[in-house]
Amino acid sequence: MKTKILNQKGEAVGDYELPKELFELEINADLIHQVVLSQRSNRRQGTAKAKGRGEVSGGGKKPWRQKGTGRARHGSTRSPLWVGGGVTFGPVLEKNYKRIVPKKMKRRAVLQVLSGKAKENLVLILDKIELEKPKTKEMAKIFGNLFLKKGSGLLVLPKMEKSIILSARNIPKSGTMQAKDLSALDMLNYKYVVLLKDSVDVIKNTFLK
């Protein structure tokens, strides 16, 4: 599969042959769905917490005597039936949302999402990015030339590029990530995937194992 190599002005500067083993795989939607669900679950903080009847304050005294009042019997004003009482079956901190998925499945899902993006012409190959210093305005201009006018985009870097990451972190509808850390969920959160030429080799060496 052939595509154009773009410069940071969005201009085509050559042709690029996308490796078949990365960009022409058959897509298994069930596999991608399972991996994405696991990654979303693993990112949950699990900090939701509601107090039960034994944790809310007050309620030590029986509201009224057991018999003879004509009213329903109650032992505490902190029962879930009362205003200010505990919560029945509320969220607890002990709940574990972690899902284990084999490494091979996660790697396969990354390559299949890349293939799906390539078939829809949503993979952009960039020759290089040159910034004199970290500057959001300059980075926003580059992203505007590439994808911002048409949708969101994820810039995939071959290695840690601090100046690029700092310049891009406050730009809406965009993100940056190292190629070795690529995941199916991160790519599906954006419309376009922008790969530097060197990032393709990193993806090949990382995910074709």
Contact 150/120 with Cβ under 8 angstroms? Answer: no
Across 36-45, average pLDDT: 92
**Amino acid identity for residue 189 in this structure:** N
pLDDT given at position 82: 93
pLDDT given at position 4: 86
Question: How many residues are present in the chain?
Answer: 209
Q: Report residue 32's pLDDT band, with 50, 70 and 90 as the boundaries.
A: very high
In the chain, pLDDT over 70 holds for what percent of residues?
Answer: 100
pLDDT given at position 131: 83
**Amino acid identity for residue 197 in this structure:** K
Quick: pLDDT tens for 119-130: 999 999 999 888
Quick: pLDDT tens for 146-160: 988 889 999 999 999
Contact 167/127 with Cβ under 8 angstroms? Answer: no
- Structural domains of the chain, ranges and CATH numbers in brackets: 2-44+98-207 (3.40.1370.10), 45-96 (no CATH)
Contact 153/194 with Cβ under 8 angstroms? Answer: yes
Does 182 score more than 80 pLDDT? Answer: yes
**What tokens appear for 135 in the block?**
């500057």
**CA–CA gap between residue 200 and residue 206 (Å, rounded):** 10
Quick: pLDDT tens for 92-134: 888 888 899 999 999 999 999 999 999 999 999 999 888 878 8
Unique residue bearing structure tokens 């959160």: 189
**Amino acid identity for residue 33 in this structure:** H
